[in-house]
Every structure is written in structure tokens, then in C-alpha cells.
Amino acid sequence: MATTEIKKDIHWVGAIDWNIRDFHGYSTYRGTTYNAFLVKDKKIALFDTVKKSHTGELLHRIARVADPASIDYLIVNHVEMDHSGALPEVIERVKPEKIFCSPMGEKAIMEHFHPQDWPLHVVRSGDTIDLGSRRVQFLETRMLHWPDSMFSYIPENKLLISSDAFGQHFATSERFDDQVDFSELMRQTTKYYANILTLYSPLIRKLLAKVEEMNLDIDMIAPDHGLIWRSHIPDVLRAYDDWSRGKGRRKVLVIYDTMWESTHKMAKAITSAVSEEGVSVKMINLAVTHRSEVMTDVLDAKAVVLGSSTLNNGLLPRMAGFLMYMRGLRPGNKIGAAFGSYGWSGEAVKLMNAAMEEMKFDLVDPGVRIKYVPNHDSLRECTVLGKKIAALVKEQTEE
């Protein structure tokens, strides 16, 4: 199994999970990697481990560059089990002198693994350890995206090991950003932010400001998933800056589910009206699109128009599930509106409006409800709604 020397004496020794397709509800159709890094200096240090199922792969790769028993330090940047599952076996094999983690990392390790005698050493933001010819500086990144998360920075190598931040679920034999298709890399980076980090956007703003204030000299960012950034660092930093501000592009999403095609016809009329106004629009049927793909599009859309037929005085289950998912991630700074067909009670539009109000979307219309099956005249209401949304999006975005 190949390892990669990403900097002099710093080796990628992680694992590639080609087959994973579901990551706690996030569709990972490109698989993923669990990145771990071995630094060979006077002290040998391993940064993070991998998912338990891939422990053998990690140990095999480590053995290609160093005797596992010669590792002195383990650094646990994040305790979520895709990076810590291998810890018990690794500790058994390595018998490290010290294991470094954040204060919340210590708690999380105790609560996950209940160890009796692991040599845990708590480090805080600004603490530094010496490996010999290089140092490691720690930066706690609480709630990005777990309480225990932290970054490790090696100034002598201008290397930031960034835990989940800047990662992507993207399994490849390549290790660097300039070795893969850039648009696919950015799609997977966008998807990762949209589905894992959106909720923490205010904290990301603070973190980006802090990193700027610290004036760190960085020429490589090594996340715990996917490709390592060396050629496109400004691109990913700019994207994180835009996403964390909730900056919307001139783009409208019409997201819907339909019972007997009436709501589908309404979705088509709205989509067509937006398009005729020269605004980019995407019609997304929840029956055929995974929620994590939908959220990827929501991240930089300026307007979200939701449609559902009324079923049993409520929403169609796929829309209810999507709203639950989107509410958890709380995307900010959106224009919102709703539509749907109904037979007699017709609560769906009211329920979608309430969910969007809770997410602080700017509701620009009471919504369009059509009884049973729309005709040419009633579809005109959808056209009016589409044109109104398009005009507002134009007003509030730059081309």
C-alpha cells in the first residue's frame, strides 16, 4: 500500500474507503479517505488515526515508513470515530509516550473509550510541542465541528493539519488538489461544508478572522478527508469565506415532492418563469435527489422555493424529512416561498412557510395553493410567483 511523503519526512499514512456510500445520512457516492500523517523527527508523531474498520490499512502504511513501536506521540485532533476508531489498537501496538488532545478531547476520549491508563496530555490554543527540528502549535476549534476539534500547525513546514475543515468525501489514489478535476474537487468540498459545517458558519467566520490575525504562514492544508490543498489554497479559503457569510449566488432552487403531478406542474411553471427572467434555476424533485445533494445546492442559492402536496393534513414525508434535515443545518440569508396542491384541507404551504420562518428565511409571498389539478389560469399564479422571486434575486445579488 502506497504512502505519500507530503513534505520532507511527513508522510500520509491514512486509509481509502472506496466503498462507503452513506456517512450518517450523507450520501458519499465518491467514497472517502481518513487521512493520518506521520512526522519523522527526533520524536515521531502520528496525527489522527482512521475508522476502526481501516486500522489494518493504517498500520500497514505506517510500517512502510517507520516501525509503529517507534512512534512517540499521538496527536488526536478530533475524537469522532472516523478518526479515532483505530485508537485502542494503535495505542496497544505503539505504546506512545504521550497522547496530545484538547481539553474537550480528553473528555471525549474518556467518554468514548473509557481508558484506564492512556498517557493523555491536554493542550490548549497557543501551546506548542517540540519534535526536534520542528514544532507543533495547537489551535482549538471548538464546535468545528465537535467540542474537541483542534488544528495542528507546523510552522517549519508551513503545514496546517486541519481536521475535518477543508475536507471532502472523495476517495482517490491521488493525494493533492492539483491532481484531480478541480470542479469535482470543489463540488465535494461544497457538499462537505453544506452538510457538515453550515450550522457552524458564525464560528467559521471567527476562526477565519483568528487565523488571519495569527498571520500563519501556510503553503499546505491537510484535512482529515480527501485531497490535500497545496495549489488551490486561496480558492478554498475564499469559498469558506463566502459560505460562512451566507453569500448567495444569483440562483433559485425549486425543491418539491408531488402526489399526483399537480405540484410538479406548479414547480415547472415557477421554474420556467424564473428562467425566463434570466436567472439561473434548478428544479429538484426530492423523490429522485438525495437530501445531501439538495443541501449542496442550497448552500449558495439566493432563493429557495418549496413545494409539497398536502397529505393527511400535513406534508409529503420526503418534504417533511428534508425540512427536518435543513432546519438542523440552518442555512442563512435566503429568500423563501412555498407552493403546493391540495384536495380539501391544504396545510402544506402553511407548514413550509412556518419551517422557513423558523430558519429566518425572508418569506416574500404567502405562497400559492391550488385545489386538486391546476389549469392554465391557476398556473398563472405560479408564473407570477416565479417572476417575483427572480426580480428579488436580481435585486439582491451581483451577476
Active site residues: 24, 78, 80, 82, 145, 164, 192, 225
| 169 binds ligand FEO, rule: CB under 6 A | no
| Range list of β-strands (E), 168-325 | 220-222, 249-257, 280-285, 301-308, 310-311, 314-315
Q: Which of 181, 324, 162 is nearest to 240 (CA)?
A: 162
Question: Which of 140, 164, 257, 381: binder of ligand FEO (CB under 6 A)?
Answer: 164
Identify residues 122-141 at the interface with ligand FEO (CB under 6 A).
Answer: none
Q: Is residue 251 part of the contact set for ligand FEO (CB under 6 A)?
A: no
For residues 99-133, b (16+ Cβ closer than 10 Å) or e, as one string? bbbbebbbebbeebeeeeebebeebeeebebebee
- Retrieve residue 245's grid coordinates: 457569510
- Asked whether position 78 contacts ligand FEO by CB under 6 A, the answer is yes
d(CA 316, CA 125): 47
**Closest separation in Å from C-beta 84 to ligand FEO:** 9
Mapping DSSP to helix (H, G, I), strand (E, B) and coil, where does residue 197 land?
helix
> What minimum distance in Å lies between the beta carbon of 33 and ligand FEO?
10
Instruction: Name the β-bridge partners of 11.
Output: 5, 38
| Residues 140 to 159 in contact with ligand FEO, rule: CB under 6 A | 145-146
Given the complex with ligand FEO, which of 41 and 164 has the nearer CB atom? 164
Q: Does 61 bind ligand FEO (CB under 6 A)?
A: no
> Per rule CB under 6 A, is residue 54 in the interface with ligand FEO?
no
Of 25 and 317, CB closest to ligand FEO: 25
CB-nearer residue toward ligand FEO: 168 or 378: 168
Nearer to ligand FEO, 134 or 225 (CB): 225
Interface residue with ligand FEO among 54, 83, 265, 302 (CB under 6 A) is 83
Q: Using CB under 6 A as the criterion, what x/- string covers residues 193-222 for binding ligand FEO?
A: ------------------------------
The stretch near ligand FEO (CB under 6 A) out of 80-88, 119-127, 184-192, 266-274 is 80-88
CA gap 76, 108 in Å, rounded: 11
Identify whether the C-beta of residue 295 lies closer than 8 Å to the C-beta of residue 329: yes
82 near ligand FEO (CB under 6 A) = yes
Taking the C-alpha atoms of residue 340 and residue 323, their distance in angstroms, rounded to an integer, is 15
Would you say 166 or 243 has its CB closer to ligand FEO? 166
Shortest Å distance, C-beta 112 to ligand FEO: 13
Count, residues near ligand FEO per rule CB under 6 A: 9
Q: Which stretch binds ligand FEO (CB under 6 A): 79-87, 173-181, 213-221, 325-333?
A: 79-87
30 is a contact residue toward ligand FEO (CB under 6 A): no
Residue 175 C-beta: closest distance to ligand FEO, Å: 17
Smallest distance, ligand FEO to C-beta of residue 57, A: 16
CB of 126 to ligand FEO, least distance (A): 23
Euclidean distance between the first and the last CA atom of the chain, given in angstroms as a whole number: 47
Among 17, 224, 300, 381, binds ligand FEO (CB under 6 A): 224
The least CB distance from residue 344 to ligand FEO, in Å, is: 46
Helix (H) or strand (E) segment spanning residue 269: helix 262-276
Please state at what angle helix 103-113 crosses helix 87-94, rounded to 10 degrees: 100
What 3-state class would DSSP assign to 250? strand
CA gap 51, 345 in Å, rounded: 49
Q: Binding segment for ligand FEO among 38-46, 74-82, 111-119, 293-301 (CB under 6 A)?
A: 74-82
Q: Which residue is nearest to ligand FEO (CB)?
A: 80
Cβ within 8 Å of residue 226, ≥6 positions away: 32, 33, 35, 167, 168, 169, 170, 172, 185, 188, 189, 192
- CA–CA distance, 208 with 19 (Å, rounded to integer): 33
Nearest CA among 321, 245, 250, 327 for reference residue 282: 250
If the CB atoms of residues 146 and 200 are measured against ligand FEO, the closer one turns out to be 146
Q: Quick one: 352 exposed, middle or buried, by C-beta within 10 A (0-12, 13-18, 19+)?
A: buried
**In the complex, which residues of this chain contact ligand FEO (CB under 6 A)?**
78, 80, 82-83, 145-146, 164, 224-225
